[in-house]
Chain A
Amino acid sequence: MKKDIMICGVGGQGTVLASKIIAASAMDEGCRVHSAETIGMAQRGGPVTSHVRIGDDVFSPLIPASGADLLIAFEPSEAVRNLKYLKKDGFVIVNSIPLKPASLGGGADYDGKAEIEFLTSRCRCLVVNSDELCRPFGSSKFFNIAVLGAAVGAGELGLKGETVRNEIIRTVPERFLEKNLAAFSAGCKIGEEKKCR
């Protein structure tokens, strides 16, 4: 299999765990994997990206422009910021809940709506509301696992749901496992529903 997957968001949203689970799942299915993370100062509330590159013919740890098959965005404006990485026929899964910048300067009236409108008009897109999706689990911190479910459900991850589920079991601390698995299933369901439409 050859697949380039980019995950983007804001430092602190839990993008790294999602990318680690995708990479490990791909390896479980016998693929060669490379990935890269944003580490350092940007992790403190700045834009962060994870690049997961599945396939044999890979040199750069970073996905080339217009190279990503799938863009998983934890935040609407971050999806737009990284859209240059998406292939023309690539797929976007985007959280519709915006994260406003900390200072009042520049982003005070940012609400993510224009971004979602732009995304849905320009590319194949699954819009997920993290507040609604994660409400049963008590915290939007479960979004990073739920969104993996959405990618599996929509048939865009290229990995078996069972493989990803097993990797979640291996990775997530025991005390959070039950809720994470429930979040994963909820995500799968949303992905499948949207796919059927």
Chain B
Amino acid sequence: MSKKYVMGNGAIALGALSAGVNLISGYPGTPSSEIIETASKFPHQGTYLEWSVNEKAAMEVAAAAAYCGARAMVTMKQVGLNVASDPLMSLAYVGVKGGMVVVSADDPGPISSQTEQDTRRFAEFARIPVFDPSSPEEAFEMVQDAFDYSEKYKTPVILRPTTRVDHAYASIEAPDSFKAGEYEGFVKDSKKWVIFPRLSYNNHLMIEKRNIEIGRDFSSYRFNTVSGSSDKAVIATGVSFAYAAEFLKEHPQVRFIKVGTPYPLPEDFLIGALDGVSEVLCLEELSPFIEESLLKLIGKHRLNIKVRGKLTGDVPSGGENDTDSAGRIIGSFLGLDSESKGLDLSSAPTPPARPPVLCAGCPHRASFYAVKKAMKGKKAYFCGDIGCYTLGNAMPLDMVDTCLCMGAGITMAQGFNHMDSDATAISFTGDSTFFASGITGVVNAVYNAADMIVCILDNSTTAMTGHQPHPGTGRNLMSAPVDKISIEKILLAIGVKRVVTVDPLDLDAAVNAVRECAELSGVKAIIFKSPCVAIVKSDKKMAVSDKCIGCLRCIKEIGCPALSVTDGKAVIDENLCTGCGLCSKLCPVGAIGGV
């Protein structure tokens, strides 16, 4: 045993390994990605780890392990749970033998996500228990408890951390090496493992009865706590509990309730904790889940308690909470002073906006620019997708007209083509996204005889989430090397009319490839292939010579963060420049060159 300073995601990994987990699968997605990565870094024996092709695959791989009696964990971000919801909903009916923990990381804010959806709703929808840790330390213990509850009630359970728990660091006392537990293996029983209407009906009845029992069990769970005795109470869940605790540590008399298991609701615990309370404030993020649960509970038991929270406008309905907002909201609820006395910030200069941008030298910039140049003056729709390259929407590139969800770029471009065949429909999909959910879109487009260009931005990694391998990289988490799956061969096998592979940094060739494909009918594909600059480091640098006439075309056209203006002329930050040379190709006077 030793203390390890790890991220909340690392604590979840350590908790699972401590619980003897036999299999962990998942698909990368902020804020969940570091769970599997951390698990792979600690010495472990007998635990199978994989980056799956997407969340649905990950869920199904893990389900099979749990059917075998093994302990399985599957990790994803909240929108990943949408992808995995098909197996999850059915699995909730079928149940498991070995413990199965589904980690779905929510992202209040949202900070790096498409939605502010709430996984606790999903747990209630699927009728399965959910654990809601308020800190990395708690997440470490809760994931172990989650395996026990999963086995006790033979159901998959959800652990729902949020970004601030996932990405907070803490010291965790844990073993230095881990060994996976023994398991029985799969015992065939088609009445149990094959989902049929009859089984679903019977199990539905069983599940509703069982959940009442789990709610009772949760009522004595150690992470459902109450302190203080005032008649005005504060209930907090997840990291909001930590924010509230920063304020309430100065006010120990205030009744302060933590709900660590939001579903099934620990009713007996809450009835006891709320005894003598006249008014309660619910501090939570995303949806008013506890608030609505309380309203039901109060109605059911005809209690005379006023409930405040998101529904009453006391807590904002969107965005994340923090210590300051928690202090203000609680202070105003309790009539306590929450003013923090800080510096006088009047007349402070307004900091410049810094929207996230593609890195200096990012090959995606060149790919977008090539398509933009080739399609200049022509009507075209540019359908983006999820990944670093969503940032292609930023000015001055302005090359992402739509972005919906993983894989939607291809299918939406197809839809635009059917609605407006005068325009050229072009999709942009990253290599990892292509494997995750792009392939079926290409099949759909070819099958339905669309006219469109599928652009694959292949930088040979899953860049945005921290450079995880994928089926095209020739690496996986267990054995290296493995066979690379060729994107080009997949596209040809589907029946794409023309597949061109081009280096986007060879600007002329890239532009010509786009022009050629735009002239052809049917589904065409261009694979823009160039490695991520964060992985393949370059020593090359570009510099601006005296010849610069200050037209600033380089800056106005590509928006590279290494380029800026000083005294009316372009300057290249040598610390950021990777020498990709894209800017040098647009300089009208040849003032930019390698050094």
Residues of A within 8 A of B (CB): 10-12, 23-24, 27, 32-47, 57, 59-67, 77-78, 80-81, 83-84, 86-88, 90, 100-108, 110, 114-115, 118, 122-123, 139-141
Contacts and interface: CB of A to CB of B under 8 A. Distances in A.
Given A64-B327, A66-B342, A107-B353, A23 B169 contact: yes
B249 A57 contact: yes
B172 to A, nearest CB: 12
15 contacts: A12-B576, A33-B169, A39-B167, A45-B356, A46-B354, A60-B322, A62-B322, A63-B323, A64-B323, A77-B351, A103-B396, A107-B353, A118-B347, A122-B345, A139-B575
Given A36-B167, A77-B351, 6 more contacts: A40-B464, A44-B388, A46-B355, A60-B242, A61-B242, A64-B340
B249 A104 contact: no
Contact of A60 (B243, B356, B576): B243
A62 B323 contact: yes
Given A60-B243, A67-B340, A86-B342, A44 B167 contact: no
B479 to A, nearest CB: 27
A106 B351 contact: no
Contacts of B340: 64-67
A102 to B, nearest CB: 4
B349 interface: yes
Interface in B279-325: 322-324
Nearest to B29: A40
B270 interface: no
Nearest to A50: B169
Contact of B171 (A32, A80, A100): A32
B242 A59 contact: yes
A62 B246 CA distance: 10
A23 B6 CA distance: 11
A89 B207 CA distance: 58
Contacts, number: 169
Interface class of chain B by DSSP: loop
Contacts of B164: 36, 61-62
Interface stretch (B18-26, B51-59, B558-566, B587-595): B558-566
A140 B31 CA distance: 30
B359 A39 contact: no
A139 B31 CA distance: 32
Contacts of B112: 39-42
Interface string B95-127: 000000000000000011000000000000000
Nearest to B320: A62
B169 A34 contact: yes
A65 B247 CA distance: 12
Given A64-B323, A88-B341, A110 B168 contact: no
A27 B355 contact: no
Contact of B324 (A47, A61, A64, A86): A64
B170 interface: yes
Closest CB pairs A-B (n = 3):
A40-B112, A107-B352, A66-B342
A89 to B, nearest CB: 9
Contact of A39 (B31, B135, B358, B396): B31
A42 B341 CA distance: 29
B480 interface: no
Interface of B: 3, 5, 7, 30-31, 111-112, 135, 164-165, 167-171, 239, 241-243, 245-246, 249, 322-324, 327, 340-345, 347-349, 351-359, 388, 391, 394-396, 464, 552, 555-556, 559-561, 563-565, 575-576
A81 B241 CA distance: 26
B348 A80 contact: yes
B354 A80 contact: no
Given A64-B323, A103-B395, A83 B345 contact: yes
Contacts of A101: 352-354
B575 A141 contact: yes
Contacts of A81: 351
A44 B559 CA distance: 13
Contacts of A83: 343, 345, 348
B349 A118 contact: yes
Contacts of B241: 59
Contacts of B359: 12, 44-45
B342 A41 contact: no
Nearest to A123: B343
Contacts of B324: 64-65
A84 B342 contact: yes
B242 A77 contact: no
Given A77-B352, A101-B353, A27 B171 contact: yes
Contact of B5 (A23, A65, A102): A23
Given A80-B348, A84-B342, A106 B169 contact: no
A66 B534 CA distance: 36
A119 B276 CA distance: 50
A128 to B, nearest CB: 16
A10 B351 CA distance: 12
A124 to B, nearest CB: 10
A60 B112 CA distance: 21
B270 to A, nearest CB: 22
Contact of A27 (B5, B30, B344, B357): B5
Contacts of B395: 103, 105
B294 to A, nearest CB: 23
Contacts of B343: 66, 83-84, 86, 88, 90, 122-123
Given A41-B111, A102-B560, A103-B396, A114 B349 contact: yes
Nearest to B8: A61
Contact of A34 (B111, B168, B388): B168
B5 A80 contact: no
Contacts of B7: 37
Nearest to A68: B342
Given A45-B354, A103-B395, A123-B343, A115 B349 contact: yes
A40 B111 CA distance: 8
A22 B559 CA distance: 35
Nearest to A111: B566
A122 B346 CA distance: 10
A60 B342 contact: no
A70 B19 CA distance: 39
Contacts of B169: 23, 33-37, 61
